[in-house]
Each structure stands twice: as structure tokens, then as C-alpha cells.
Structure 1
Amino acid sequence: MIHTEGLTKDFVVSRKETVHAVRGIDLDVAPGELVAILGPNGAGKTTTMRMLTTLLAPTSGSARVAGFDVVTEPGQVRRRIGYVGQGNGAGHNQRAADELYSQGVTYGLSRADSRRRAGELLESLDLAGKAQRKVTDLSGGQRRRLDVAMGLMHAPPLLVLDEPSTGLDPQNRANLWEHITAMRTTFDITVLLTTHYLDEADSMAERVVVVDHGEVIADDTPDALKTQLAGDLLVVTTDAPDGAAQLARVVERWQGASEVTLTGTRISARIANGTTRVAELVHTADAAAVGLSDVQVRRPTLDDVFLNLTGRSLRESGTENEEVAA
């Protein structure tokens, strides 16, 4: 569904300054996948999305979306994608059903087909009772569901979502994703997503692509990334400092153990296969007559992965604008 090779975008700020927003991204997305792109502000996520949706021309490299080149065949690409940007796309003083109808006609659907499709999407996205309401009278969650409906009016095989749930409360976020998941199954669509909510990417995406400084630095399933790049967090508290030091030396010898820290009677470390290792450590402590007062194993999160990859948390990655020429 998406294939890029060396996709690059530079913004010329002045004669002496060029910003390299995207630095040769290679990306493949298969039909039916839900792929999340993660990265801090300024990493190149939105620039990449805009190139894939023909809103920005690449400086170099190539990209094909739904089988068509984004530079030489932009019209063919646009017919086959739905795009939901960061802002609301519907006119504030328009009625929800009218916006969907207009979107369908714009994409070449007949009037009858536009009305039928609008009705289907309003029903599927739990907006049937809001069809005659103005967009300004809809809640934030309802507006975002309307945006998704607009992106799906022409039945595209690919839906591109650029931070679709930003600004929504947890209940509306969950509700939006419940509907998107249902839409994906009903209409058999591929979804490309950017988000700053790592729990969304973790629970929804089959693959996660991490972008930093305009480059792909990781690409795998959420579970694989957490296992390979973060590891389980092991925290053990003993009855005495001497026993803690003894067990810390054992943990340091484990293959793949990292970030081993000893603080008083408390040991913490990043390890692989935490559950298995805990049993081994408990056995070692028992054999050495070291008393344990607490043992915890926590599975890593995608934020742990991001911290490991970039040295900073995604939530603390700054607030600068991604685009130089937005």
C-alpha cells in the first residue's frame, strides 16, 4: 500500500540555512496493516505524511501510495486515500450530513451514492442522530468522528490519521478508536497513524515506526520493540544491604542485563524474560539465605523504548513546531 525509498525533504530557510526535515526514509506498509509512526515534535512525522498525501513534494527519493507515484500521479493517489489532519476538517456552520454529501460529490460520487454513503458512515460512527446538527454544535469527539467519516466518504483503501485524538479526553479517545477499529474491519482499510499517545500505538498498531531527526530508527511490532530495546524492569528489595550487594552482582552477570542499580537494600535492572529471571533470582537468594521483602517485574512501555532509543521521553520531547514551512 505504501512504498518509499530514500524519501527526503529539505526546507530552505535562508541562503545560509537549510533544514533537513526528512533524511531518506524507507518505509513499506502492506495492505490491511495499521502502522503507527512515533517521534518527537520536529522528527519529520508530519512532513512525511504530507509527502505521502501529495501535500508536499519530496526533495529527493520516491514514494508510491496505493500503486501510484506521489509526484507524477498525485491525482490517482488522492482518489485512493482518506486524510484526517490535526485540525477539524468540516466547516463550522455546515450540517454534518451536508459536509459528508459535499465530500462525496467532490470525489465524483453521484448524488444518490453520496447520500447513501453519508448515511452509512453516520450510522457506523454513531452520528446518525447528529446528521442535521451544525458542526459547531457537535462535541469534540463527535467532530473527530465526522472527520474520519469525511476521510472515508469515497471508500479509500488507505486512511491516514495525523494525531486524530489530540485534545480529546480519555473517554472520547477510547470511543474514537472503537469506531476506527470497527471501520477498519467493515471497510477493509489500511491505516497509517501518527500519535503522541503511546498507549494508542501500543494497543492499536501491528507495527510501530520510530522516527527521529528525519530518519527511521526502529521498525517492528510493539512487543518486539519492547523486548529488544527496553527489557523488563526488575526491582528487588532485600532485608539487608549486604544481601542486596550480593544479588546485584548476580544480576550484573546475566546476559543482556543493563541499568543495574543498587540503592541501599534495593536493586533495579533492565532484563529480558523477567518472569523467568525472577524465579532464578529467588532461588539464588534462598540458597544464599538472603531475605527478600519485595520483588516486582514490570513489562516495558513504548515510552521506555523511545527513551532507550533517543535518550528522552516522547512526552518530554519539546514543543517546537514540526514544520519549518507549515
Structure 2
Amino acid sequence: MNFIRPTAFLSLLLALHSCSDDNTTSDETAVIDPTEEACTTDQVLDSSRGPCDVTLPYASEYEESTSETTRTIASNSIPEHLVGLFGGGSGSLNPNAISEQSETYELPLNPTEATDFTSLLNQNTGPQYSFGVLLNGVELDPVAAEPFPHEGALSANVNWEWNLEALNVNLGLDCNNAHVQPTGKYHYHGSPILFLENLDIPDNEMTMIGYAADGFPIYYKYAYEDATDASSAVITMTPSYELKSGNRPGDGVTAPCDVYNGIYSNDYEFIETAGILDRANGRNGVTPEYPDGTYYYVITDAFPSVPRYFRGTPSNDFKLGR
């Protein structure tokens, strides 16, 4: 082992001291505080659901009629299946009790595709549309009004680009991925589990389950492998969204930070080659109800589950806060 002689070690210390004292020719070195913590979020990833063990005291009402150009749907927004406990009290999933609504939706009977997609979320003002209505009369309304920084009452300074993903945080959803608005309207944020179970949907058939706000049909999960051939195999449709990798770019003050984990809808990104479906979780093709072909949407198990974009022009009857 080699040792530095005392006299040499002392000379080295004096030289270092001399350099550090001379601040006229050297730059200051930044000091890193080892106690400074990395930016994190207090939002918790939570996909748990409440039980569905409540029978509603209302009968489900759904009526559909058509004219030459319009499909009209009337509903009281009450499902036929069991729901969670809502309305306050012990075990309640949120304080809003389910109540009958009086909804009328007018949709184009022969919808057309728009030149571009329309988002359900306006990044300046928040959610602007619900997505559609199922054949039980209950709305699909996937976008939560939960912008960053999540401080209760909404203010003009919220960041709608970073909106909590209702399916991945605890917003009091029951087993149907549904809960209740302050108006008493029961609505789905994701796959309507018991509604689908009651339909007993086979995995070798396309099954239409509702209409989107632009008039195009909605199917659940399965569709023809060859979109142009109704005799081709029926397969599970895959969305083209993936969870981003790395960390969010925010500072924790104006935008969230921490790792992309699905807490925010914006944690996901559309990658055209990642799946079968397009940005609106849909595609063009033939279906049992539209043998000549149409654009149609698909409810998937994976994100986004319920589409977050329209391919056509949405009816104002689905505009939120109207």
C-alpha cells in the first residue's frame, strides 16, 4: 500500500485552499441539497369498484323511433340491472341518489364522417359531450371533470390537459363502472358490466349495444377480422393506445409530475400501429345491422374502453350542461 508523506499531504491541502479562495478566476459550483425530494403526486392509482347489490325502485324506460332523417331515443336513464349504493350514508359510493330523468336524443339516421375527430374534452373548458346512449337508455359519459390540481371547486386556473382518468382513480364507481351526477343521472364511465352480462354476448358475433352522439353504432369488443367481409372470423378488437413511458413533464404546481401510470387520461398516447382501432376506438366496415358498411365504434376492455373522440358530428342533445 502507498502512503502520501505528511509534508506532501500538507502541501496539497494548502494548494487546494489557495484555489478555492481565489474567486476571481473560477466559477462557482452549484450545491445540490441531498434532502430535496423528487416531485411526486398525491393521487393514487385505484381501479377498485363498489358492489352492485341495490335494486332500483324505478322501471327502465327506453323508446326508439325513426323518421326519414332522424333517430329519436327517449329514456329515463334507469338501467334494468343492479347498481351500487348511492345517495349518502354508510357504504354509499357518492352522495348523489339515482333518480329518473327525462331525456330525448335526436341523432342523424344516416350519419357521415367529419373531416376531423372531435374530442369529448375541451382542454380550455373541460368535458363538453357525453359519448352516447346504450340500448337500455343509460348514457356513456367517460370523461371525468377532475382537472389538475384537484383542489375541490373548479377555478379558472385548472389544467384540463391533465384530467384524472375515472377508470383508474377512486371516483366512487360501482361494479358497472358507473356512478351518479348531482342531477341524479346514472351514467357509465367504462364497460357497463352487468348490462353486458345480461345480454350474454357471444364471442363469435358482432353485437350492437347502442348509438354514439353522432349517430354511428356502438358494438362491444368483437368484430369481423376482415372489416369488409361478414363471413370472416370474429375477433377481439384492440385499441391503439399505450401507456407512455418515463415521467410526466410537470412541476407539480402547474401540471402533474411523477411516473406515467394511468392516473391521468393523458398518461396514454395514441399509436396508430399499436392496435386495430383508430383514435376514436372505431373503424369502417360491414356489420350485421349495416351489411353495406358503416363507421362504428367499439367498447373495449383496455383503455380507452369508451371512446374519447367522435368520428362524426355529435348531436347537441349530448352536450353537457345544456
Greater share of helix: 1
TM-score by length of 1: 0.25
Greater share of strand: 1
TM-score by length of 2: 0.25
